[in-house]
Amino acid sequence: MTPTAPPHHLPLAEPADRYRAMRLVRGFEEQALDLVREGVIAGGIHPYIGQEAVAVGVCAALRDGDLITSTHRGHGHVLAKGASPHRMLAELAGRVTGLNRGRGGSMHAADFSLGILGANGIVGAGAPIAAGAAWAEARAGRDTVVTAFFGDGALNQGVLLETFNLAAIWRLPVLFVCENNGYATTLPAAGAVAGGAVERARAFGIPAQTVDGMDCEAVLAAAAGAVERARAGDGPSFLECRTYRFEGHHTMERRLKLGYRTAEEVAGWRERDPLPRAAAALDPGEADRIDAGIGQLLADARTFALASPAPDISGACDYLYADGLRPRAGVTL
């Protein structure tokens, strides 16, 4: 029998809410790593561990009706914008109860009912889509704000620079969030981005600032200003969030033993872990209570995902066309 996911709501208004959301993302990713190792999640994932303060801080500045586009490293964004961890995990496991009915997986997770226009497997591809949605919303007279998350690697995609220009000349309500985690796979951002991230945005007349991406409250404060600007019709902003991924680029990396980062560097960033920092600001004992609650939620999500059936193979071409056009079969017997 196909189980039904329980209703899910993720408040982000208070510091404790934001700690809880970061714990949810962290715990979700740790569990997903287990499930990759167990072979339940095919293909592996790009873990978001270490970067939680960015997704949560930015999403805390948004309203329910706001939209986001995400990346290959998108679990944090999708969960912080309110997606059900049950259905997200089911999606990663390729189950019919997944957000995308098992058709998208980690790199394409979307929930249009929550304004999540999708993770994206192509670096930089989400930003122009976000700008287009922002154009449509603004021209329809709505004050929706659209956030495009992307990594430092995307700074070298030409289409992103084209998008900066279009967003600036048309004063689109877009928030560009660059998560500079120091690397595009193994390539250090330091040697790959001429002129710097914020300088690039400023060259297009887009207000830009760098924030500590390991501090959720700092990210929220910066994002809130940018969102307010966009909502008021004053155009796009750019945030460079300095952050770090504690895990490898992709789960596959564990086996490869690549030596592009030193153990000291990783350890140094782990000391700046956004979760203990946020926990320290809460009442004593509160973080522990939250952690226990999240532990239970994620255990339920796991049970839900594993109890959910795989999609029926007769539907492998379902949803290819909106009008139900059936492609010819590859094999005719």
For the CA atoms of the chain, what is the radius of gyration? Answer: 20
CB of 152 to Mg ion, least distance (A): 4
Please give the residue ranges that form the binding site for another protein (CB under 8 A): 67, 69, 98-104, 108, 110-113, 117-118, 120, 122, 125, 128-137, 139-140, 146, 158-159, 162-163, 165-166, 169, 317-323, 325, 327, 332
208-212 vs 146-151, strand pairing mode: unpaired
CA distance 86 to 180: 29
Q: Is 184 in the site for ligand TPP (CB under 6 A)?
A: yes
Measure CA 316 to chain center: 27
The helix (H) or strand (E) run that includes residue 140 is: none
Three-state DSSP at 239 gives strand
Among 66, 91, 111, 152, binds Mg ion (CB under 5 A): 152
Q: Is 100 in the site for Mg ion (CB under 5 A)?
A: no
- Cross-strand pairs, 212: 242
CB of 194 to ligand TPP, least distance (A): 16
The item of another protein, ligand TPP, Mg ion, none sharing an interface with residue 249, based on CB under 5 to 8 Å by kind, is ligand TPP
Sheet containing 237-242, strands listed edge to edge, beginning at the edge strand earlier in sequence = 67-69, 146-151, 174-180, 237-242, 208-212
Task: Choose the stretch contacting ligand TPP; rule: CB under 6 A; options: 97-105, 178-186, 196-204, 256-264.
Answer: 178-186
The item of Mg ion, ligand TPP, another protein, none sharing an interface with residue 158, based on CB under 5 to 8 Å by kind, is another protein
CB of 245 to Mg ion, least distance (A): 7
The item of Mg ion, another protein, ligand TPP, none sharing an interface with residue 133, based on CB under 5 to 8 Å by kind, is another protein
Q: Which is nearer to another protein, 263 or 331 (CB)?
A: 331
Distances (CA, A) of 267 to 33, 190, 244, 245, 262: 20, 19, 11, 11, 9
**Residues 6+ away with beta carbon under 8 Å from 165:** 204
- Cross-strand pairs, 240: 178, 210
Binding mask 180-219 for Mg ion (x = CB under 5 A): -x--x-----------------------------------
CB of 109 to another protein, least distance (A): 9
CA distance 258 to 306: 32
Q: Which is nearer to another protein, 76 or 128 (CB)?
A: 128
Other beta carbons less than 10 A from residue 244's beta carbon: 23
Which residues form the interface with Mg ion (CB under 5 A)? 151-152, 181, 184
Which residues form the interface with ligand TPP (CB under 6 A)? 46, 72-73, 121-123, 151-154, 157, 181, 183-185, 249
